[in-house]
């Protein structure tokens, strides 16, 4: 969302301005001229595909890339048979990287058929020098590589790649500035992610994110509020505030402001019906935040609170800065304040040195906290992180066997928890037509669970009261209260 400006009045024969975001508007105008000329030459529009790997941060970044592409005049397509394909990559676990290398092979094939095709790679994986080296050596057909700190420069980089026969690479080690007021093309018209901060300072010992996303930087509250107001005016009813550790929002601002205080400001914005946020780190989840959530009418009763391990010994080696007792006490406090709160988590199995006893501690927390759902991961060694060089890396078979036991327990509890809501009538945000049955809509409860219920396309983007008539494991079949059944 930004104040639309008329790119056609920009004089692209003059020097590009030095200031942002004006400089990017200049390059968008220049790229637009190129796209228009190419489409005329080919007698068809130029197409572009943005492929996203990884988390919500990347999903939001992709909306920004798509917004720039739209301004430039590319027509969006979901197939990779496009004139421009960009992969926004993730490197949190090894298999994320392998997926990208696998799909790049397919792109090479397509580029042979369409030599004008351009291929760009960006995102977290590109912040790793070894990856860039590998691509330079083995994937020479790639035209453009950039990282996580300079996505706002996409138009300028595309222009540079257009003028060059060789691969253009622009990777920054740190975020130099937060550039506001650039376009974005939202995936959903009625809900949107909103970055409130970038980067991470926590350095959990297994995690590569601080190395590829840089140090923690909070956006100014006024900029966040302005963005959300504009989203609301544009039909958005649900926002998801994004940060690697939202609980430490605002600490590095000129005028520090807590995350809880930011939420209170956002609550005032008219038109926004639901507020979500992600991710909360247990070490600094404050009583102030619990109070604000409890009083709020808009903040969803859902908290994603990654546990990672239930063993205090392993948590220490992970550098998480809380222990088992602290985590369980926090869960008790949250449940006492909000009995209807849905609690979800992330758990890593097979961290170096994890014994059967450590694993049983994790199972114990899972049974006590009774998570509504949990993402479970096999530990993946990330070169450059402290855990990668720890002794006692766990053999794959042992980790896998623990992982399967954990998953069974997590799923059993999750099914019990969702069954408990059967029969209640709760608000559901209608998100899309059901993929299997066109007479149904698919939507989400405040706790993030999926509900399928009878409805029509004109109901999408609004919140409806739906009776959860039947629970089918991880989703519900719902009934509308106003006659439709």
Residue nearest to ligand F3S (CB): 54
Binding residues for ligand SAH restricted to 337-356, rule: CB under 6 A? 346, 348
Does residue 318 belong to the site contacting ligand F3S (CB under 6 A)?
A: no
**Interface mask toward ligand F3S for 107-126; x: CB under 6 A:** -----------------x--
> Which C-beta is closer to ligand F3S: that of 380 or that of 447?
380
**Interface mask toward ligand SAH for 138-157; x: CB under 6 A:** --------------------
436 CB neighbour count, 10 Å cutoff = 8
> Which C-beta is closer to ligand F3S: that of 293 or that of 348?
348
Indicate which single residue of 306, 310, 455, 478 sits in contact with ligand SAH (rule: CB under 6 A): 306
Does residue 28 belong to the site contacting ligand SAH (CB under 6 A)?
A: no
Residue 4: which residues within 8 A CB-CB, separation 6 or more?
183
Indicate which single residue of 150, 218, 245, 247 sits in contact with ligand SF4 (rule: CB under 6 A): 245
Indicate which single residue of 62, 91, 385, 449 sits in contact with ligand F3S (rule: CB under 6 A): 91
Does residue 92 belong to the site contacting ligand F3S (CB under 6 A)?
A: yes
> Which whole-number Å values give the CA distances from 294 to 74, 228, 280, 319, 445, in the listed order?
45, 22, 16, 30, 17
**Interface mask toward ligand SAH for 238-267; x: CB under 6 A:** ------xx----------------------
Q: Please choose which of ligand SF4, ligand SAH, ligand F3S, none residue 210 contacts, taking the beta carbon within 5 to 8 angstroms, the exact cut-off set by kind.
A: ligand SF4
Q: Min. distance of Cβ 9 from ligand F3S in angstroms? A: 37
Binding residues for ligand SAH restricted to 198-237, rule: CB under 6 A? 206-207, 209
Residue 322: which residues within 8 A CB-CB, separation 6 or more?
282, 283, 315, 330
274 CB neighbour count, 10 Å cutoff = 20
Does residue 478 belong to the site contacting ligand F3S (CB under 6 A)?
A: no
> Which whole-number Å values give the CA distances from 226 to 180, 229, 287, in the listed order?
11, 5, 27
> Which C-beta is closer to ligand F3S: that of 375 or that of 474?
375
Does residue 16 come out as left (phi exceeding 0), alpha (psi in the -120 to 50 range) or beta?
Answer: beta
Indicate which single residue of 209, 278, 314, 334 sits in contact with ligand F3S (rule: CB under 6 A): 209
**Residues 94-109: b if buried by 16+ CB within 10 A, e if exposed:** eebbeebeeebeebee
Q: Please choose which of ligand SAH, ligand SF4, ligand F3S, none residue 93 contacts, taking the beta carbon within 5 to 8 angstroms, the exact cut-off set by kind.
A: ligand SAH
> Which C-beta is closer to ligand F3S: that of 120 or that of 209?
209
Does residue 213 belong to the site contacting ligand F3S (CB under 6 A)?
A: yes
**Interface mask toward ligand F3S for 25-64; x: CB under 6 A:** -----------------------------xx-xx------
> Which C-beta is closer to ligand F3S: that of 147 or that of 461?
147
Instruction: Find, among 448, 447, 445, 458, the residue nearest to 484 by Cα.
Output: 458
> Which C-beta is closer to ligand SF4: that of 210 or that of 427?
210
Instruction: Report the C-alpha gap between 185 and 127 in whole angstroms.
Output: 24
CB 200 within 8 A of CB 210: yes
> Which C-beta is closer to ligand SF4: that of 183 or that of 352?
352
Rg of the Cα atoms in the chain: 24
Bridge partner list, 345: 374
**Residues 208-226: b if buried by 16+ CB within 10 A, e if exposed:** bbbbbbbebbbbebeebbe
Does residue 202 belong to the site contacting ligand SF4 (CB under 6 A)?
A: yes
> Which C-beta is closer to ligand F3S: that of 213 or that of 217?
213
Q: Min. distance of Cβ 149 from ligand F3S in angstroms? A: 12
List of residues contacting ligand SAH (CB under 6 A):
92-93, 206-207, 209, 244-245, 279, 281, 306, 308, 346, 348, 377, 379-380, 382
List of residues contacting ligand F3S (CB under 6 A):
54-55, 57-58, 90-92, 124, 209, 212-213
List of residues contacting ligand SF4 (CB under 6 A):
200, 202-204, 207, 209-210, 244-245, 281
């Amino acid at each position: 969302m930004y104040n639309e400006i008329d790119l056609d009045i920009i004089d692209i024969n003059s020097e590009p301005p030095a200031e942002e975001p004006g400089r990017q508007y200049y390059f968008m105008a220049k790229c637009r001229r190129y796209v228009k000329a190419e489409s005329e030459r080919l007698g068809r529009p130029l197409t572009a595909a943005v492929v996203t790997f990884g988390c919500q941060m990347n999903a939001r970044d992709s909306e920004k890339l798509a917004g720039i592409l739209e301004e430039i005049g590319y027509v969006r397509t979901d197939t990779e048979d496009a004139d421009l394909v960009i992969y926004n990559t993730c490197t949190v676990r090894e298999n994320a990287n392998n997926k990208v290398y696998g799909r790049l092979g397919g792109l090479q094939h397509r580029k042979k058929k369409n030599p004008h095709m351009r291929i760009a790679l960006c995102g977290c994986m590109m912040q790793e020098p070894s990856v860039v080296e590998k691509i330079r050596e083995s994937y020479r057909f790639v035209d453009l590589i950039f990282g996580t700190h300079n996505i706002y420069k996409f138009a300028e980089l595309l222009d540079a790649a257009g003028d060059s026969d060789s691969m253009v690479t622009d990777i920054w080690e740190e975020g130099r500035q937060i550039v506001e007021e650039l376009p974005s093309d939202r995936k959903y018209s009625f809900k949107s992610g909103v970055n409130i901060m970038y980067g991470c300072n926590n350095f959990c010992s297994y995690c590569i994110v601080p190395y590829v996303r840089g140090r923690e930087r909070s956006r100014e509250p006024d900029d966040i509020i302005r963005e959300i107001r504009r989203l609301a005016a544009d039909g958005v009813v649900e926002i998801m505030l994004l940060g690697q550790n939202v609980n430490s929002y605002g600490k590095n601002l000129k005028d520090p402001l807590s995350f809880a205080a930011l939420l209170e400001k956002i609550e005032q914005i008219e038109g926004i019906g639901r507020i979500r946020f992600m991710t909360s780190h247990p070490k600094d989840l404050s009583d102030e935040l619990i109070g604000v959530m409890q009083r709020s009418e808009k903040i969803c009763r859902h908290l994603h609170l990654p546990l990672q391990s239930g063993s205090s010994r392993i948590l220490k080696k992970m550098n998480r800065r809380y222990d088992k007792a602290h985590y369980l006490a926090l869960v008790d406090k949250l449940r006492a304040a909000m009995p209807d709160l849905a609690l979800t988590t992330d758990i890593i199995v097979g961290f170096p040195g994890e014994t059967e006893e450590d694993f049983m501690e994790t199972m114990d927390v899972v049974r006590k906290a009774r998570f509504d759902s949990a993402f479970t991961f096999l530990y993946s060694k990330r070169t450059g992180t402290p855990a990668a060089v720890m002794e006692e890396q766990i053999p794959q078979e042992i980790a896998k066997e623990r992982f399967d036991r954990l998953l069974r327990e997590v799923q059993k509890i999750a099914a019990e928890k969702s069954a408990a809501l059967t029969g209640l009538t709760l608000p559901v945000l209608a998100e899309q037509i059901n993929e299997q049955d066109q007479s149904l809509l698919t939507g989400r409860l405040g706790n993030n669970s999926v509900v399928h219920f009878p409805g029509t396309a004109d109901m999408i983007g609004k919140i409806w009261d739906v009776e959860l008539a039947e629970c089918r494991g991880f989703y519900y079949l719902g009934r509308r209260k106003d006659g439709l059944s």
